[in-house]
Amino acid sequence: MDVEARLAALEERCRKAEDHLEILNLLNTYGPLVDSGTARPAGDLWVEGGGYNFTLPDGGTLRLSAPDEIADMYAWEGHLELVKTGCAHLTATPKISVHGDKAEAVGYSVVILREDDRWFLWRAAVNHWTLERGVQGWRIVERFNRALDGSAESHETMRKVATI
Q: Average pLDDT of each block of 10 consecutive residues along the chain (164 residues)?
A: 92 95 98 96 97 92 97 93 97 97 98 96 97 97 97 96 96
State pLDDT tens for residues 9-26: 999 999 999 999 999 999
Our count of domains for the chain comes to 1
Q: Which domain holds residue 130?
A: 3-162
pLDDT in tens, 136-153: 999 999 999 999 999 999
What CATH number did the domain enclosing 39 receive?
A: 3.10.450.50
Q: d(Cα 50, Cα 67) in Å, to the nearest integer?
A: 8
